[in-house]
Structure formats: C-alpha cells, structure tokens
Amino acid sequence: MHFENTLKFARSLDAADALAKYRDEFHFPQVNGRQVIYFTGNSLGLQPKRTHDYIDEVMADWADLAVEGHFHAKRPWWDYHERLAAPMAKIVGAKTEEVCAMNTLTVNLHLLMVTFYRPTDKRYKIICEEKAFPSDQYMLQSQVRHHGLDPDDAIVEVRKRKGEHHWRTEDVLRAIEETGDQLALVLIGGVNYYNGQVFDMPAITKAGREVGAQVGWDLAHAAGNIELRLHDWDVDFAAWCSYKYMNSGPGNASGIFVHERHLNKKGINRFEGWWGTQKETRFLMKPEFEPPASADAWQLSNPPVLSLAPYLASLQMFDEVGMDALIEKRKSIVAYLEYILGEIDKETSGSFEIITPKDRGCQLSVFLHGQGKPLFDYLMEHGVIVDWREPNVIRLAPAPFYCSYEDMYRFGQILKQGIREQAKAR
Ligand SMILES: *Cc1c(COP(=O)(O)O)cnc(C)c1O
C-alpha cells in the first residue's frame, strides 16, 4: 500500500475510515489540554461512553427492586451473563454454548486446569512459551506443585533462538513431537504480550491433539484483536480477559471457552458451584449437581452483574461493528504505524527496531537503541500513552476502535522530536 508521512495524507485515511465515527464513542484522557494518543488498549481499553448507561441501569434496578431485580430487572440478573455469550462467541469463533463470562482470567485458567490438566505417571508435562506472562507462569507452577510434581521437570518452555525476537512455529511443533506421550497439556498465550507475536494456533493445536495432549490458549491479548476460530481449530479450552482490547474496565470479568466435545461429559473433573447447575432446577436446592450442556457448567457463583454490565456494553459495540471490520482497520492502521516508524527511523538514523514478527495483531513492540526510559518519559509528557517493558521496549497498540491515522502521524512527529532532544541532551 502507498503511504505518505504527512498530516494531509493521514487525514485522508481517516476520512475514508468507516470506523472513524466510533472514536467519539470513547472517553480519552487529556494531556496539556489535548486528547492523548492512546497506544495502551492492549493493557486497558478506553471507556466507551455508553458504559455508564449499562451500569446506571443496574444501579437503578437495584435501588427500585432490590432482590426482585434477580427476576424483574430490565435485564434480569439471574441470567444476566447469558446475554454476553452470543457476542463473545462471535469474537472468539465459538458456538454460543461453548463460552461463558465469569470470574477473572487467572482464576479461570486455574479452574480450567482442574479439568484439563490431569497428569498421570507417564503423561504429565506442559508445554508453554518461555517467559510467558508472569501470572501464567505462577499459575502453571502452582498447578504442577499442587499435583505433587516438580515444575522444573514438568514444564517445558519453548525458547526463542539466540539472536531472534520471536518463536518459530517449527520449534513449538518439534517440542510437542519430542515430548510426545509425556505431554499432558499445551498452554500458550495466543498473542504474546511482550513482542506482539501471533502464534500459529491451528497448527499448534492440531499437533498437540495428535500426540494426545489437551490444548488451551490464554487469549488475553488475542480476544477482540485477531481472528479466532476456536471451535473449528478444535481447541480444548481457552480464557481471556475483557479489559484489554475489549474495553470493559479495570480488572473486569473474563470469558472462557470449552469445546463442545467436553460439554455434557459424564464424570468430567471440575470444581463446581450452584451457578453451574441447570437454571431450571437450580432453586429447587437439590443436592445433585446437574450441569447444562454448556460452558456455564464451569460457573461457580451468581454473576457479578455490576461488572458484567460494562462488559455487555462493550460486547454490543463489537457486535455492531463486527470483527471483520475491526480486523481490516487494524491491519491498515498497524501498517501505517509501521511505515511511520520506518520513516522516523530513517530520519533519526537507526534509533530503534520493531521486534514484532509479521504474524501480528494490533501491537508493535519497538526496541530502542540507546535512548530508553527518558524517551518513554518524553512521549508520556507529550500526550502519547505507551507502555514500557524492560529492558528497552515500548509497546504500541493502535486499537482500531478509537485510534486514528492522524494519531499515527502526530505520534511520528513527537517521536522524532523526542529522539532529537535526547540526542542533544547527551
Ligand atoms: C493481562 C494478562 C493476564 C492478566 O490476568 P488477570 O487475571 O486478568 O489479572 C494474564 N495472562 C496474560 C497472558 C495477560 O496478558
């Protein structure tokens, strides 16, 4: 595609952007009296303006109806979570009954491990990526110890090759093959939080299942970002959070996926609670647990309606726009950002490099040569919200819902100025 590093050109892309009108649907922080350029939608998405109405509705129903709200609220609370299933299923490529909004991400991964990590003497190993997101590492290690096993023996980390910034699919596939009938589980972050790499989920899932392992994905950085086909890829289970690309608010609820073939299975190992039993008979308060043939069977408690309300608001926006349109804009705005970075790099004679491979979603991770932290501080002071990862990486995620092409152009100008001022100061 032909790009130009000019304000006029950036504005022409915005003028042609069908999603441009959604920018006004979000609240932006201000720095120096101006809307920020927000690159951290991969960490905490901006607040949609309509979120307020969804929360206010619950607050009003609670005030007016109190306990009666469970059945008589505008959107009754006892099955509030069911409204999230269909739009969530579309985002992750699942059947409606395969997903459920509940708990938070790390909690859900633990609950899913109870079902999907059943080590035996022979088959007990887990494959994950080296330096997985810390919560995932702690989760895996503690699960392994819970079964009386040694994490150093049970957890097999797939490494990047020396001098490379990304994992090679062939290396993941080889690890799966080599671990073979000792392999109980593959659990990897579908989009890596650090370098922004998208793993080849269909190929890895297929390989894992072929050696008889379960395959799960942590989709924290994938849900609402890239195309997912969890059902068709035959993934066993997955979980994601909703506050990153899905704009549901800080620490908000997670979603889970459990493949159809595991639903309605007798004798499946699972931690259970009263919201996992069939809703028709739940209030008979019977001693027997009767799970529905859906991922709802993994629910424990009655749903946290005040946190599902903003999640529902956001899902309805995704439903309006559709992942196809979001992905199309995401590809184009990331391509424009990469082009801008290339231009600025030329003008500042090689100040940084992009370490994100071509298999990518919304995020570009940029390794800075030299300037580091002071440049990050400069960007923040000039209204560019990015994040910093040791040793010298900034992550840029131009979320297609609310970032504009003009943002990319303006960011380039601020970056160039920042690099020049740092050079002068040295
Ligand atoms: C963001 C993120 C988490 C966060 O977990 P919470 O339980 O929501 O705090 C976990 N894993 C990965 C890969 C993440 O990117």
Task: Mark which of 276, 291, 321 sits at the end of a domain.
Answer: 321
Percentage with pLDDT > 70 across the chain: 100
Distance 330 CA to ligand 1 centre (A): 22
Distance 256 CA to ligand 1 centre (A): 13
pLDDT score of 412:
97
Residue nearest (by alpha carbon) to ligand 1 atom 2: 220
Same domain, 284 and 226: yes
Same domain, 393 and 262: no
Nearest atom (ligand 1) to Cα of 218: 13
C-alpha span between 108 and 104 (Å, rounded): 6
CATH code (residue 375):
3.90.1150.10
310 in a labelled binding site: no
Same domain, 294 and 389: no
pLDDT score of 202:
98
Distance 192 CA to ligand 1 centre (A): 11
CATH code (residue 149):
3.40.640.10
Q: If pLDDT is split at 50, 70 and 90, which confidence band does 371 have?
A: low
As a whole number, the mean pLDDT across the chain is 96
152 in a labelled binding site: no
User: Average pLDDT in the 336-346 region?
Assistant: 97
Same domain, 150 and 229: yes
Same domain, 91 and 102: yes
Instruction: State which of 44, 106, 113, 221 you would mutate to test the pocket of ligand 1, scoring each by most atoms of that ligand within 8 A of its C-beta.
Output: 106
Asked if 184 and 161 touch (Cβ cutoff 8 Å), the reply is: no
Q: If pLDDT is split at 50, 70 and 90, which confidence band does 208 have?
A: very high
Secondary structure string (H, E, C) spanning the chain: CCCCCCHHHHHHHHHCCCCHHHHHHEECCEECCEECEECECCCCCCEECCHHHHHHHHHHHHHHHHHHHHHHCCCCCCCCCHHHHHHHHHHHCCCHHHEEEECCHHHHHHHHHHHHCCCCCCCCEEEEECCCCHHHHHHHHHHHHHCCCCHHHHEEEECCCCCCCCCCHHHHHHHHHHHHHHEEEEEEECECCCCCEECCHHHHHHHHHHCCCEEEEECCCCCCCCCCCCCCCCCCEEEEECCCCCCCCCCCCEEEEECHHHCCCCCCCCCCCHHHCCHHHHCCCCCCCCCCCCHHHHCCCCCCHHHHHHHHHHHHHHHHHCHHHHHHHHHHHHHHHHHHHHHHHHHCCCCEEECCCCCECCCEEEEECCCCHHHHHHHHHCCEECEEECCCEEEEECCCCCCCHHHHHHHHHHHHHHHHHHHHHC
User: Average pLDDT in the 410-426 region?
Assistant: 91
User: Average pLDDT in the 44-53 region?
Assistant: 98
User: Average pLDDT in the 55-79 region?
Assistant: 98
Q: If pLDDT is split at 50, 70 and 90, which confidence band does 266 have?
A: confident
Residue nearest (by alpha carbon) to ligand 1 atom 10: 135
Interstrand relation of 254-258 and 99-102 (parallel, antiparallel or unpaired): antiparallel
240 in a labelled binding site: no
Same domain, 145 and 85: yes
Task: Mark which of 299, 321, 343 sits at the end of a domain.
Answer: 321
Asked if 218 and 240 touch (Cβ cutoff 8 Å), the reply is: yes
Distance 196 CA to ligand 1 centre (A): 14
For residue 170, pLDDT over 80 is answered with yes
Distance 135 CA to ligand 1 centre (A): 6
Instruction: State which of 241, 242, 246 you would mutate to test the pocket of ligand 1, scoring each by most atoms of that ligand within 8 A of its C-beta.
Output: 241
Distance 105 CA to ligand 1 centre (A): 6
Same domain, 253 and 339: no
Instruction: State which of 43, 44, 105, 140 you would mutate to test the pocket of ligand 1, scoring each by most atoms of that ligand within 8 A of its C-beta.
Output: 105
User: Average pLDDT in the 188-213 region?
Assistant: 98
Strand partners, 315: none
Whole-prediction pTM = 0.97
Nearest atom (ligand 1) to Cα of 132: 13
For residue 362, pLDDT over 90 is answered with yes
Same domain, 310 and 333: no
Instruction: State which of 44, 139, 193 you would mutate to test the pocket of ligand 1, scoring each by most atoms of that ligand within 8 A of its C-beta.
Output: 193
Same domain, 225 and 326: no
User: Average pLDDT in the 176-200 region?
Assistant: 98
Q: Do the domain assignments include residue 40?
A: no
Q: Do the domain assignments include residue 41?
A: no
Residue nearest (by alpha carbon) to ligand 1 atom 1: 220
Same domain, 106 and 168: yes
Same domain, 17 and 149: no
Angle among Cα 101, 230, 262 to the nearest 5 degrees reads 75
Q: Do the domain assignments include residue 25?
A: yes
User: Average pLDDT in the 378-394 region?
Assistant: 93
pLDDT score of 370:
78
User: Average pLDDT in the 223-246 region?
Assistant: 98
**Choice among 68-77, 154-163, 367-376 with the minimum mean pLDDT:** 367-376
Percentage with pLDDT > 90 across the chain: 93
Ligand 1 site residues, Cβ closer than 6 angstroms: 104-106, 133, 135-136, 189, 193, 218, 220-221, 241
Which residue did the predictor score with more confidence, 6 or 370? 6
pLDDT score of 423:
82
How many distinct structural domains can be found in the chain? Answer: 2
User: Average pLDDT in the 252-274 region?
Assistant: 95
400: containing domain: 7-35+322-425
For residue 244, pLDDT over 90 is answered with yes
For residue 222, pLDDT over 90 is answered with yes
pLDDT score of 1:
77
150 in a labelled binding site: no
Q: Do the domain assignments include residue 84?
A: yes
Q: Do the domain assignments include residue 358?
A: yes
28 in a labelled binding site: no
134 in a labelled binding site: yes
Task: Mark which of 305, 321, 337 sits at the end of a domain.
Answer: 321
269 in a labelled binding site: no
Q: Do the domain assignments include residue 1?
A: no
pLDDT score of 373:
87
46 in a labelled binding site: no
Distance 241 CA to ligand 1 centre (A): 7
Same domain, 22 and 91: no
Q: If pLDDT is split at 50, 70 and 90, which confidence band does 143 have?
A: very high
